[in-house]
Amino acid sequence: MKNLIALFDFDGVIADTESQYTVFWNRMGLDYLGLEDFGHTIKGQTLVQIFGKHFSGMEKQQNEIVPLLDEFESNMSYDYIPGAYEFMVSLKAVGVPMAIVTSSNDIKMQHVHKAHPELAGLVDAILTSEHFSKSKPDPECFLKGMDVLGGTPEGTVVFEDSFHGLTAGRASGARVVGLATTNKREAIAPLCDIVIDDFTGFTLDRIL
């Protein structure tokens, strides 16, 4: 497919990890802030955003949480969202360039590589938080993805699940496919061109 590129967020789009993060952040919220159900409060936010909003001025606590998160991610399961791998394989087969554009760091993605070594050969680039100066909802990450793959906003499709990610995709000028894996369909619909529950039965024709 000439001139079309695809940019995929990772958590909640390629891998079913959001419920696991909720467990971790529920524990952090209770231990450090005395808050219950904290994991749902920060759903879809980056670590920088979580620390900035909820742990501001708490450097000691932040320094304790980071290694706990790294250890948690090293033991997470990274099961594919239904149909995600098959859909990406179908794009690869017709020559669509792909990149993973994630707010996760390089350390976390090393754990992902151990779980799914096949991903490295499937996508053309993996862009992590180390590659960006601004977090979603700023569109910088997706614009960087377009630049790396030689794409244009009008020729790009972004796959996202979080409000910040969907907002960033929309701001980048790309077409946006929203996955209702983290938030309800009706909540994310205004930020998407298409909303899907997962990739089961999803084809390139629906994008085009």
pLDDT of residue 136 exceeding 70, the answer is yes
- Quick: pLDDT tens for 163-197: 999 999 999 999 999 999 989 999 999 999 999 99
Give the residue among 191, 124, 141, 186 at the shortest CA–CA distance from 163. 191
HSE value, Cβ hemisphere, 13 Å, CA-based, for 174: 32
How many domains does the chain divide into? 2
Domain that holds residue 9: 5-16+80-207
- Return the residue matching tokens 């999803």: 202
Rounded to two decimals, what is the model's pTM?
A: 0.92
The reply to whether 177 and 118 lie within a common domain is yes
Angle between helices 106-115 and 59-74 (to 10 degrees): 10
Alpha-carbon gap, residue 93 to 25, rounded angstroms: 38
Residues 192 and 96 in one domain: yes
Residues 131 and 199 placed together within one structural domain of the fold: yes
Output the furthest CA–CA distance in the chain (Å, rounded): 53
Residues 31 and 99 in one domain: no
The percentage of residues in the chain with a pLDDT greater than 90, rounded to a whole number, is: 83
> Are both 162 and 173 inside the same structural domain?
yes
Q: What is the pLDDT of residue 2?
A: 62
**48, 111: one domain:** no
Domain boundary, last residue among 27, 50, 74: 74
Instruction: Supply φ then ψ for residue 165, to 5 degrees.
Output: -65, -40
For residues 92 and 51, state if they share a domain: no
